[in-house]
Amino acid sequence: MKILVINCGSSSIKYQLYSLERHHILAKGIVEKIGMKGSFLKHEKETGQKVLFEGEILDHKIGIEYVLGVLSSEKHGCINSLEEINAVGHRVVHGGEEFSESVLITDEIIHKLEKFIDLAPLHNPPNLKGIYALKALIPDIPQVAVFDTAFHHTIPQHSFMYAIPYALYKKYGIRRYGFHGTSHKYVSNRACELLDIDPSSAKIVTCHLGNGASACAIKNGKSIDTSMGFTPVEGLIMGTRSGDIDMGAVAYIMDKERIGTKSASTLFNKHSGLLGISGISSDSREIRAAADKGDERCLLAIKMFDYRIKKYIGSYAAVMGGIDLLVFTGGIGENSDVSRAGICEGLEFLGIEIDQNLNEGLKGEERLISKAGAKVKVIVVPTNEELMIAIDTQNIVCEKI
Ligand code: ADP
């Protein structure tokens, strides 16, 4: 079965064409700078052969046309005709309270997704543009929506509610939704598979640490808490997002700086986090390099980043009544041995003990890094949200046939 996985951002389209019988990627690529000067498509075949197309890509529909064109082209493609694509799986950021799992996209579902634009104004509109484009270009091929929020649907109410007037929850759906769900689900399942652990009786903390970062408490196979909230700005310190902050401070800053909600949102989403503290970069590698040369603010940014994650791991161990497995993923979690070591330092009392020989130099590979005999297993699992989307899409489509 061939599944096309589509992830539409505001000015980009990432795609991967999977052959699920052989569980591998036939081709992948990205369209960037949609609607801007210098738009292009970068395409790579499974042979590693790469090609770059530059052209005027004015909107997502034209971008998708480029993608379908290159996938089925004689010279650079990997399929003879578009009919070989059995289904399309879309990453959709927000599924609101309605979607607890992936769904086959129908007109009624599109209508419901349009209603969630209000909840995810930055993410859901481009996701929908991808859906509209594929519906118009290959109308007979089934499409599936896979939600970032769905895995967190099992979070109990006492954990997802904010202590604000209940009427606001009812009126506007103000509550914790959580994001990165596809990644937390994939890495927790994969870690259990690798370590022969039964997820239905395990207490797991997953740390997805990339530009966006979140932690998740997974008890008996279900997400019971996660650090991102109503929006992806809550929780851990991220590349440019503040994470947790006293809302009293938010109101005070808005008042003092005389800024409105839009500027405040930009401040806490785009100018905060590692970038805000270091004043240098949102990229952890650049911060680490400056810290190694003695830059005080970069040293502080790293300490704050690690400390916040440590707090979440501790609190999740508390609410789950212990922890059996700690999983690291995302650009930092997968590649930075020093970050993993910094986060785990001092957590020996919980049974978290890293073997430095196993941890050191480990980049982008699946590997157990805890000491032999340690109470908690600590493992690195590179995330693979696209594969998860492809598998979910296959399952939904096969169910409906
Ligand atoms: P996104 O959330 O945009 O998908 P990524 O998962 O790619 O982000 O993570 C980006 C972060 O990962 C950056 O802070 C970057 O410095 C870090 N990172 C990526 N590769 C490495 C590496 N080889 N070593 C250390 N950090 C890395």
pLDDT in tens, 152-178: 999 999 999 999 999 999 999 999 999
Give pLDDT tens digits for 189-203: 999 999 999 999 999
pLDDT of residue 126: 92
- Please report the pLDDT score of residue 401 as a whole number: 61
Q: What are phi and psi of 272, to 5 degrees?
A: -110, -150
CA distances for 251 relative to 33, 232, 246, 275, 380, angstroms: 35, 19, 9, 21, 39
**Shortest-distance Cα residue to atom 23 of ligand 1:** 335
CATH class entry, domain 197-385: alpha beta
Q: What is the pLDDT, as a whole number, of residue 115?
A: 86
Res 163: pLDDT: 98
Same fold for the pair 2-147 and 197-385: yes
Contact 6, 21 (CB under 8 A): no
Q: Which residues contact 15 (CB under 8 A, 6 or more apart)?
A: 4, 5, 6, 7, 28, 29, 30, 31, 67
- Topology (CATH) of 2-147: Nucleotidyltransferase; domain 5 (3.30.420)
> For the packed helices 284-292 and 296-320, what is the interaxial angle rounded to 10 degrees?
120
Which residues share a beta bridge with 44? 28, 50
Sheet with 325-329: list strands edge to edge: 222-226, 213-219, 203-209, 325-329, 377-380, 367-368
328: CA distance to ligand 1 center in Å? 12
Q: Which of 51, 54, 49, 52 shows the shortest CA–CA distance to 26?
A: 49
Rounded Cα distance between 279 and 195, Å, is 41
B/e letters for 238-271, b = 16+ CB within 10 Å, e = fewer, are: bbbbbbeeeeeeeeeeeeeeeeeeeeeeebbbee
What are the structural domain ranges in the chain?
2-147, 197-385
Residues present in the chain in total = 401
The ranges of the chain with pLDDT < 70 are: 400-401
In this structure, the residues whose C-beta lies within 6 A of any atom of ligand 1 are 210-212, 239, 283-285, 330-332, 335-336, 363
Rounded distance from Cα 267 to ligand 1 centre (Å) = 22
Q: Which of 10, 335, 338, 384 to mutate to test the pocket of ligand 1 (most atoms within 8 A of CB)?
A: 335
Q: Contact 147/100 with Cβ under 8 angstroms? A: no
Residue pair 101/151 in contact (Cβ under 8 Å)? The answer is: no
**How many whole angstroms from 331 Cα to the centroid of ligand 1?**
3
DSSP codes of every residue in 49-68: -EEEEE----SHHHHHHHHH
How close is the Cα of 381 to the center of ligand 1, in Å? Answer: 14
Give one word for 180, left, alpha or beta, with left for phi > 0 and alpha for psi -120 to 50.
left
Alpha-carbon distance 323 to 282, whole Å?
31
Q: To test ligand 1's pocket by mutation, which of 237, 332, 363 has the most ligand atoms within 8 angstroms of CB?
A: 332
Residues facing residue 329 across a β-bridge: 208
